[in-house]
Structures are given as C-alpha cells and as structure tokens.
Structure 1
C-alpha cells in the first residue's frame, strides 16, 4: 500500500467519523463528530498488531448507525421545508448509497428525489398503455420543461427555507445544500416518474423508473434507483451481508487511491454493480470467515481485469446499461484491482506465518491463507 497502511487507517477513521467533512456541517454537528471520533470502533481492536488486517476489516464495516440516522433526519428536514414551499403535487423519495447502507462516510451526501407527480411518461408497449389507461401530456409540457421549472422552484425554495446555508446549483443533475443549521449535505434531484412496461404489469415500486434532468445539456436521463436498491439488497441478504461489505471495501480502496493522487474512472454505482456479479457462495463464507470477503473481492476484480470481454458483457443490476460502457473504466478497474491484490497479500502475510518469508506471495496462495482465517 503505497502511502503507508497507518496513513490509510487514519484516513479510514476520518471518513467514518466525519472528520474529513467537518467543514460542511453545523458547529453542533462538528462538536458531535469531534467528540464521537475519540471513541474507538470495534474493528480497530479486532486484529491487534496486524494493521493491514485492521484496515481491511474496518473498510468493510457499515458506518455507525447514529451517523446514518442523522443523514436521514437531515434529508427529512429538507423534505419538510420543500413540501411547504413547492406544489402539492410533489412527492419525495431517497436514492443512493445511504438508504442502501453502502456509504463509507460518517458525513455522507444524501440524495433526495423531488418528483413532480403532475407529469410522468410511460412505455407505450406496456399493458396499461395498450389498454388505454394513460392520457398523453398536454401540448407543450415535456420532461425538459417540467423538470427545468421544478429545478428553479427547488432552488428558490431551498434559499428561502435555509437563507444561511449554501445552495450550490453547479451540478447539472442536483441542487446541493449544506452548512448553516444542516447537519449533512443534501443533494436535491428534480425528477418525475416513468411508468415502465414492467411497472405497468407488476405495480411494484422497484419496477418504476424516474426521469431526471441534465441541466447542462438540457436533456433527460432515465434511472431505476429502486430496482438497484432491491437487487443489491436481495443479493446482500442472500450472502448474509457479504455483498455490502465487499462494496464498502471497494469504495474505501477507491477513496484511498484518490487521496493518494490516482484518478479512478469508476463511480460508486459502478463498483456496487461489479461486485453484484461476484461469487455469492464465496461472499456468504464471510458470515463466519470475514476475510473471505476480501479474498472474493480480490479474486473477482482480478478475474475481470484478466477477462475484459466478459467484463464488457456485465450489466448494472437494474439492466439499464453495461457497467463498462466506456473503455477508460478499465483504467479504474486496473488500479482498484492492483490495490486489492496488494492488500490481500499483506493481510495474508499477517494471517499466515510462512507467507511472511515471501516478498510477494502468489494471489491464489494468499486467498487460500485468508479464506478461513477467524478474526474475533
């Protein structure tokens, strides 16, 4: 690990405690973070005198639920203020890593969807559409026009509700608000519903898509955030939490590489999507042998790096696109995979004495060494 494992453990603590983002929260929240950061978390004492193992274990764990609850409460507070100031036709939902519980920061941005329910689009091939259940939108009302107006209304409402906070409209897809009395940053995403053919048949929320605006290009993008959450959650439950731990491990490795100056052309969504396709049996072994999750994460990343045609065929969990839809994403895969190789070898040397005598043990040998290591 290029910048020293102790530096990485320090940054991991900082991310998890929120110290890394203390500048964007209230003074009360900052005081809470500083005081809370003095408490040692359980993972820090599970592998004494084994810093690589300590880092690997810590990188897998969920953020303190108290921090997550504060994030959710802050989003609810913003939601309540917007509800008072926007049209009665708006509806609110959460998307992203916080409701999915794969966030890695104590101070995480929360994605709050604001849906204008007075307008929606639908798949004309769906069963309800063919049966005549839908009425076309009024002339002149388009996704772009409706979402542009909603974005302007959201911007004004946020500034009126939180005059001392910073409202940042530079992002083309969200209006960010942070600071003043807000304990967490919130990304407010103007959107509307898209009734897919699957939703028209099932009536299930996870089959319903949303449409968001790219305000820079003045075009729209269709997303399936609830299907993504359901797919990841179902597979994580089947692995007794192993998938979420693998995703967090990948995201923390990415954060470390970026802190050390390496650009990673993979989003958090991409990393979650990659590990969704990993071997579930190996991830399930993490229920008893937690380091088996590291072994499988390393194995699968290395496998995709060595088999790029197979990687190109993988799709995100909601099926909407290929994961590797741009060739430069393989640069990110290579960097994360190599860093995971290095971490696996270092952990294996800590866990298996004979490997300490080797300067660079083999990857299969290293996986075998950690697969059944028991960490109390």
Structure 2
C-alpha cells in the first residue's frame, strides 16, 4: 500500500527542524531550490527521500555540542584529571534529529586496560625502525605496574560523584540508567548522556600514537562492572572516511534507513543505529559511489534483500570495527531486519513510477 508521503514529509520536517525555522534561511540555496522543484513536480516520494538523506543543519548540531560542553564544564570543575570525549551519531553526522542527544564520556585517569602484554612485546621486538616515542609507548604497557586498586569501585565513585555534581547544577537529571546519567540543560534544550568508562589500549593505538584506535569499557552501575570493549572513536573515523570517499553517500543511506525506522508503524526499537550503520558500511563502495540520491534506495533494497534471503552472507556481516557479528545466532535481529526491509520495499515500489530515471532498475 502506498505510503502517505505528506505525513511522512511533515515527520521529517519536525525532526530535522524542530524550531520551525524558515527553510530558506535554514538550508543552502541549492538544497532549498531542489526541494522547491520536487514540491512543484508533485513527486512527494522523492521529496521524502531527499529530506531523509539530508544531514541535520549545522546550527542544530552546534547547539547539541554546546549543551555537551556545558555539562562537561561543570564536571571538569569538580574533577579536572578526568578525560572527556564525545561519541555517537552526532559526531559522525548520521543523526536525524535537530534536537539530538549527545553522549559525553568521562574516562578515568586512575587506570586503563589493554591487550595482553605479549602482543605489545611481539610488536616491540618485530619493529626494528621504531622511533623513540613508539618504543616508549609500547614499553609503558610492557613494563607497567599492575593496578593495585579496585577498578569497579573507582568507576562507581566517579559515576556517583558525577551524579552529585549534576544534581546540584541541573533540575532535570535521571540517574536510574545503568550506563549513563541523563541530563537536560534546557538551554540549549538537549539531552546529554554522561557515560562513565575507562580506556582500553591496543598495540596499534600505542604504536601509531593514535587515540582513535583506543577502545573504552563502559561502566554499568547496576551490574557494578565494566562492559566489553567498544571502539566508538574508530567507528566514527571509519564512517567519516568512507562517506568522504563516496561524496557523503554512505551517510545519506544511514540517515534514510534511520528515518524509515523512525517512521515505521512497526516496533523496530530492537534494531539499533549500530546495526543500521554496520549494514550500510558493509556495502561495497563500487555499488554506489557515483549514484544519485534516489538510486541509493535501490542499493539499500538489494542489500537488505540479500541479507534477508542469504543466510551465509547474513552471518558474515560484522560491526564497523570488526569486533562482532551483527546477525549470527540472533533470530530476533533477523526478524526486525525483514520488517525494516519491507519499509524499503514500499518506498522503492512507490519510487519507480515517479521518475523515468529509474527505469534501468
């Protein structure tokens, strides 16, 4: 059944422009002109696709980061020795909401974890042309003194201290989430999720002196333990790099798929942004690097179809950082994938009659 694109376009407008700013002021002239042409031609499905793929206007993203910086400033006054970093879709510009949440990570300076020491030793003795700095970075881990404290106790204290600071500063603070503290500074009106974590050093991160290659381990207050290693900065870097190589097309596909999920009448909550980014990232560049925006719908249609139908291929798909399989032995995830695939099918079928440019499909 054909989708109601008038309603869907309004949904996108409300998400991407929640302050209802005049679009001629909000968007670049070229984008506004193209939207005008699509409106006048009556091809609402194309307008919906175009809007869904467009990035959130920079002024909204700047305000989101401003909210994060305000929260960070208050935390820093209380504990200047902690490292602070941002993670998530705002930092890769794959968010679809003007009033997006942002993840602020507070990273303890008391300790870090790392790959097994033998891996650092192997690199140290196998690289004859290392710089002094590279040698020192590897030796810092190889000869490092084991941490004598209790890491979970330290992380819990860092988390609880942050709760006290934020409660004394803001009215709207939620401390019930196990992995983060939710703060709403109100000016700007954004949600900032404060995550407590520790660093995870890899051989590559130390040898290359590249923080992007470091992982983190998020603290779960309810479990009172650190979770599995994650590489959020590497994911952001890889998405940014690959999308740049494709003229922004990777991010267009991610945003479009996220929009379909947000607009679906189905409950797709269990299919995360992490899953969507991983699927889109997995698509070979040669399949889409020079395509028009509406042709990317076909690329997604074919990819989701293949994943839905081909078990061997489906089980081969990994996360962006290559640390886990997205669908292997996850039947619920597969069920949700097929529901999201149907959303793509519906738009694809509505798209075909609207433009002769798609006849080759």
1:253-277 C-alpha deviation (Å, 9 max, x unpaired): 01011xx243343100110011001
1:141 aligns with 2:141: no
1:154 aligns with 2:162: yes
Compared CA separation, residues 251 and 184, structure 1 to 2 (3 A) = same
Q: 1:173 aligns with which of 174, 179, 185?
A: 179
Post-superposition shift, 1:284? 1.1
Post-superposition shift, 1:50? 0.4
Show structure 2 runs of 5+ residues with no match.
121-137
Q: 1:240 aligns with which of 243, 247, 270?
A: 247
Whole-Å separation in 1 of the counterparts to 2:70 and 2:91: 16
Whole-Å separation in 1 of the counterparts to 2:144 and 2:323: 24
Whole-Å separation in 1 of the counterparts to 2:269 and 2:311: 17
Post-superposition shift, 1:191? 0.9
Post-superposition shift, 1:131? 6.8
Compared CA separation, residues 334 and 131, structure 1 to 2 (3 A) = closer
Compared CA separation, residues 238 and 303, structure 1 to 2 (3 A) = same
Post-superposition shift, 1:129? 6.2
1:69-104 C-alpha deviation (Å, 9 max, x unpaired): 111111111111110122x32011110000100000
Compared CA separation, residues 14 and 203, structure 1 to 2 (3 A) = same
Compared CA separation, residues 367 and 81, structure 1 to 2 (3 A) = farther
RMSD: 2.1
Compared CA separation, residues 135 and 278, structure 1 to 2 (3 A) = same
1:229-272 C-alpha deviation (Å, 9 max, x unpaired): 11111111111111000000110001011xx2433431001100
**What's the counterpart of residue 49 of structure 2?**
56
Post-superposition shift, 1:224? 0.3
The answer to whether the Cα contact below 8 Å between 1:46 and 1:54 also exists between their aligned partners in 2 is: no
Whole-Å separation in 2 of the counterparts to 1:145 and 1:324: 35
1:317-360 C-alpha deviation (Å, 9 max, x unpaired): 1111111252211112101111111101111111139xxxxxxx
- Using structure 2 for the length normalisation, give the TM-score: 0.87
Compared CA separation, residues 107 and 130, structure 1 to 2 (3 A) = closer
The 5 Å alignment of 1:152-231 reads 152-162=160-170, 165-221=171-227, 222-231=229-238
Post-superposition shift, 1:300? 0.9
Post-superposition shift, 1:16? 0.6
Whole-Å separation in 1 of the counterparts to 2:20 and 2:185: 17
Show structure 1 runs of 5+ residues with no match.
19-32, 354-365, 370-376
Q: SS where residue 247 of structure 1 aligns? A: helix
**What's the counterpart of residue 119 of structure 1?**
111
Q: SS where residue 284 of structure 1 aligns? A: coil
**What's the counterpart of residue 26 of structure 1?**
none
1:333 aligns with 2:342: no
The 5 Å alignment of 1:1-376 reads 4-18=4-18, 33-36=19-22, 42=32, 44-48=35-39, 49-86=42-79, 88-124=80-116, 125-127=118-120, 128=138, 132-138=142-148, 140-142=149-151, 144-162=152-170, 165-221=171-227, 222-257=229-264, 260-286=265-291, 289-325=292-328, 326-352=330-356, 368-369=360-361
* Comparing 177-186 and 104-113, the one that deviates more: 177-186
Whole-Å separation in 2 of the counterparts to 1:273 and 1:84: 37
- Using structure 1 for the length normalisation, give the TM-score: 0.83
1:180-236 C-alpha deviation (Å, 9 max, x unpaired): 434211001011111123323322112100111122223322210011111111111
Whole-Å separation in 1 of the counterparts to 2:66 and 2:26: 25
Whole-Å separation in 2 of the counterparts to 1:299 and 1:66: 35
Q: SS where residue 142 of structure 2 aligns? A: coil
Post-superposition shift, 1:179? 4.8
Compared CA separation, residues 129 and 341, structure 1 to 2 (3 A) = farther
The answer to whether the Cα contact below 8 Å between 2:66 and 2:188 also exists between their aligned partners in 1 is: no
Post-superposition shift, 1:279? 2.8
